[in-house]
Structure 1
Amino acid sequence: MSEKRDLVLFIAMSLDGYIATKDESLEWLFNVEGEGDNGYSDFYETVDTVLIGKKTYDWMTRHVPGEFPYKNKKCYVFTRSSIEDTEDVKFINDDIVRFTNKLKNQEGRNIWLVGGGELLQSFVEKKLVDEIILTVAPTIIGKGIPLFKEGDYQLDLTLKGTKKYNQFVELHYGVKH
C-alpha cells in the first residue's frame, strides 16, 4: 500500500498572527521585502491538489488578475451551497473529514490547504493538517482575520526547519498525530 499524502497548510501571517486585515486586505504583506517568491515555487511543486474555502475563492476571483492561479492542479472549493463546477475547480459540499481522508488515500503529491480562516479552523479542529509551513512577515497589523481562531483544540507540533527570505521567516512544522 502506498503512503498517505500529507495535507499541508502553507500560508503567511503578520507577526501578531493575522492572515489579512478586517477588510480582507493583504497590502501589508506586499510591503515587506522578500527574496524571490519566498519559497512559493519550490512548495508549489510538492503539491498536486489544492483546497480552498469559498470566501477565499471569491476573494481570489475579485483580486487576483489573469487566469486562475492553480490551473495545473486539482482544485476543490468547499462551500455550503450547491454550485456548478467550473473548468478550474470542483465545488465540494461534503463532509470535510470523509472527503479529505479519501483524497489523502489517493496516489499523488501533497495537498495544499490554501485557506481561509473558517476552513482552516475546521481542518485544525478535525486534526486533518499534517504539516504547517508558516511564513511570518515582520509586520504588526493590530487586528484582522486571525490565522488560528479560539477553539476547543490543541495541536502539538515538531519543528522541521526554518528558512529566511530577506525580511520573511518561514517556520516548517510537522503535526504530531
Structure 2
Amino acid sequence: MPRKIVLYIAMSLDGYIATKDDHLEWLFNTEGEGDNGYSEFYDTVDTIILGRRTYDWILNNESDNFPYKNKQCYVFSKTMFGIDKNVEFINGNVIDFTKKLKQMDGKNIWIVGGGELLHEFMEQRLVDEWIITIAPTIIGDGIPLFKKLDFETRLVLKGIRRFNQFTELHYNSI
C-alpha cells in the first residue's frame, strides 16, 4: 500500500499561514492545549518535504535547532544542490520525485510547506490527507495557505478536534 502524503499545517481564521513579513506571533500567542496533537501526528511520518522558502525560514528562525532531525527531509530547490547536515536538496521534477517516494516503504510523508509546493501537489491531486488547524485570529493579509486555483478539490471530513482555542479539521481527499 502506498504511503500517504499529508498536509499538516496551521492557519489563521481568514486562511493565512503567516503575515506578509513571515511572522507567526499570532499563532504562538493563541492558547492551545499541550502540543495541540503535534507529537501524535509526528509519529505517523518518517519523511518531510519542504519548499526552499520554508526551509530558509526554519534556518533563520530556529537557528541550530532543526526541528526534523530524526526524519528524512527533502527540500525542493532550483539553486541548492546535494545534501547538508539536515536535508537533501531535490532539483528535478517535484511531482515525479514525490510519486517515487510514495511507492517506497515507510510511514507517511508530511508536506511542511509552503504554499507554492502545496499548489503543485494540489494540481496533481497528490495530497491524500489534510490536517488543518485553525487559530481564532484574523490577520487580514499575509501568505495564504491556498493560492488562487482554477480547479476544484473535493474533500471528505474525517474528524474534528479542539485544542483549547485551536480547531483541527481532518479531511481525506476524494
Q: TM-score, normalised by structure 1?
A: 0.96
Partner Cα distance (1:23, 1:127) in 2: 29
Corresponding residue of 1:80 = 78
| Displacement of 1:101 | 0.7
1:115-143 alpha-carbon deviations (Å, 9 max, x no partner): 01111111111111001000000000000
Partner of residue 61 from structure 1, selected from 59, 77, 92: 59
Q: Residue 132 of structure 2: SS of its match in structure 1?
A: strand
Runs (4+) off by over 4 Å: none
Give 1:84 deviation, angstroms: 3.1
The gaps in structure 2 that reach 5 residues or longer are none
Pair 1:46-2:44 in alignment: yes
Residue 152 of structure 1, CA deviation? 1.6
Where 1:28 maps in the other structure, the secondary structure is: helix
Matched residues in 2 for 1:84 and 1:94: separation? 12
> Is 1:136 matched up with 2:144?
no
Q: Which moved more, 1:157-166 or 1:87-96?
A: 87-96
For 2:91 and 2:25, the matched residues in 1 are separated by 31
Provide structure 1 residue ranges, at least 5 long, that are not aligned to the other structure: none
* CA distance in 2 between partners of 1:62 and 1:24 (Å): 11
**Amino acid across the alignment from 1:23:** D
Out of 24, 29, 46, the residue aligned to residue 27 of structure 2 is 29
> In 1, Cα distance between the equivalents of 2:59 and 2:151?
32
| 1:58 alignment partner AA | D
* Percent of matched pairs sharing the same residue: 60
Contact map agreement 1:12 1:134 (CA 8 A) in 2: yes
State the match for 2:120 in structure 1: 122
Aligned residues: 174
**TM-score, normalising length: structure 2:** 0.97
Equivalents in 2 of 1:88, 1:141: separation in Å? Answer: 32
| Deviation of 1:67 (Å) | 2.4
